[in-house]
Structure 1
Amino acid sequence: MSANFWTDQKFTKRDYTKQKLPKGDYENCRFVDCLFSKGYLDNQNFVECTFEGCDLTNTNIANTTFNDVTFKDCKMVGVQFETCSQLLLSLRFSGCNLSVASFNGMDLPRIGFQDCKLHQTDFSEAHLKQAEFSGCDLENALFENTNLEQSDFTSATNFNIDPSINHIKKTRFSEGGLIGLLKKYDIVVT
């Protein structure tokens, strides 16, 4: 266990690009409008924490534990989630920009994305069984050898999922979204 421990703290409008967030364990803490862009959040432990309106663009999260962590209205462009600790990993995203982020090869059953921008996000080789993509824009998101069984895309837009190279058993799509399963055939549906 780390020597530094913070619980039930609120960190507001802090700039962690010049001075790093102190290494330690953060439990039930809130980070509001904080700047971490191109910074380091590596080797940290977050349990039941919330990040709201924060900029985490290209932030290094290597070996960081995220246990029951929620990101709301955050900018997280280019974040490489596969570098974080997989132990006790539990994430939720709402209203976030996760463009060019990567979840490559991760095991994330029941992960929730709500109203997120996921342009060019990499979900290759990920296990996303029962994932929720409510109101998400998945333009050019990469799904390759991805387990999407029982996931929900009924209100997602702009996705391109090839059923021949992904697992989509009992995955839910809206009738209008079915075109996202046929894009590789370059057909016209009217």
Structure 2
Amino acid sequence: MLIANETFEKVSTLDNRNEYECCTFINCDFSEGNLSATKFIESEFLDCNLSNAKLNETSILDVSFKNCKMLGVQFDRSNQLLFSATFENCQLNDCTFYEMKLRQATFTNSNLEGADFTAADMKDIKITGCDLFNTSFDRANLEGADFRMSVRLQIDPELTRLAKAKFSMAQLPGLLLKHNLRIEG
């Protein structure tokens, strides 16, 4: 069933398998919930909790997440066809984006501690102002990606495609960590 142009506030369940187009979700708690096979199109989540929500075959198309708590979400189980999302001021600790095509995603001022981007296609992506402690980028395509202003970055350039990626000087130690070098300013 198509649900369009609706605002949902402080709800904790949704009928999955519905299609939500141009909807707004405010202060909703979908933690541990089952959102499998649901379609979210041009929708916005504000101050919501989606921690450990099940997203099996969920479609996320032009969706904005702002100030959301999304711990442990396995985005790689969602429908990856045309996946596009923006994450701003979100907690995305321990989320999984394994082998996803994320060229249409942006991450701004978010916490991505322990997130898994292994083998993801992140060409030209923007991950700015984020905490990337223990985040895995092994075998990812990060060509042209913008990591400026992000902190606690650790990437092995020998395991990751980095041509034309953008980093600040302060991030240099995180690119050379495996070589056990001391860099002094």
TM over 0.5: yes
Alignment gaps of 5+ in structure 1: none
The answer to whether the 8 Å contact 2:117/2:140 transfers is yes
- In 2, the alpha carbon distance for the partners of 1:110 and 1:48 equals 13
Q: Alpha-carbon deviation of 1:110?
A: 4.2
Q: Could you tell me which residue of structure 1 aligns to residue 2 of structure 2?
A: 5
Is residue 161 of structure 1 aligned with residue 158 of structure 2? no
The answer to whether the 8 Å contact 1:111/1:130 transfers is no
1:15 to 6, 12, 19: 12
Q: Alpha-carbon deviation of 1:43?
A: 0.4
Q: Name the SS for the 2:60 alignment partner.
A: strand
Q: Alpha-carbon deviation of 1:179?
A: 1.1
| Deviation digits for residues 57-87 of structure 1 (CA, Å, limit 9, x no counterpart) | 0000000111101111100000000100012
Q: Name the SS for the 1:179 alignment partner.
A: helix
Q: Could you tell me which residue of structure 1 aligns to residue 18 of structure 2?
A: 24
Q: Could you tell me which residue of structure 2 aligns to residue 96 of structure 1?
A: 90
The TM-score normalised by the length of structure 2 is: 0.97
Q: Could you tell me which residue of structure 2 aligns to residue 130 of structure 1?
A: 124
Is residue 189 of structure 1 aligned with residue 174 of structure 2? no
| Deviation digits for residues 161-189 of structure 1 (CA, Å, limit 9, x no counterpart) | 00000000000001111111011112222
Q: Could you tell me which residue of structure 2 aligns to residue 58 of structure 1?
A: 52
* Percentage of pairs with the same residue: 36
- In 1, the alpha carbon distance for the partners of 2:95 and 2:8 equals 25
| Deviation digits for residues 35-67 of structure 1 (CA, Å, limit 9, x no counterpart) | 000110000011100011110000000001111
2:40 to 8, 26, 46: 46
The TM-score normalised by the length of structure 1 is: 0.94
Q: Name the SS for the 2:133 alignment partner.
A: coil
Q: Could you tell me which residue of structure 2 aligns to residue 71 of structure 1?
A: 65
Letter in 2 for 1:30: T
Q: Name the SS for the 2:8 alignment partner.
A: strand
Letter in 2 for 1:8: N
The answer to whether the 8 Å contact 2:16/2:34 transfers is no
Bigger mean CA offset, 75-84 vs 22-31? 22-31
Q: Alpha-carbon deviation of 1:21?
A: 3.3
2:114 to 115, 120, 144: 120
Q: How many residues align?
A: 184
Q: Alpha-carbon deviation of 1:5?
A: 1.3
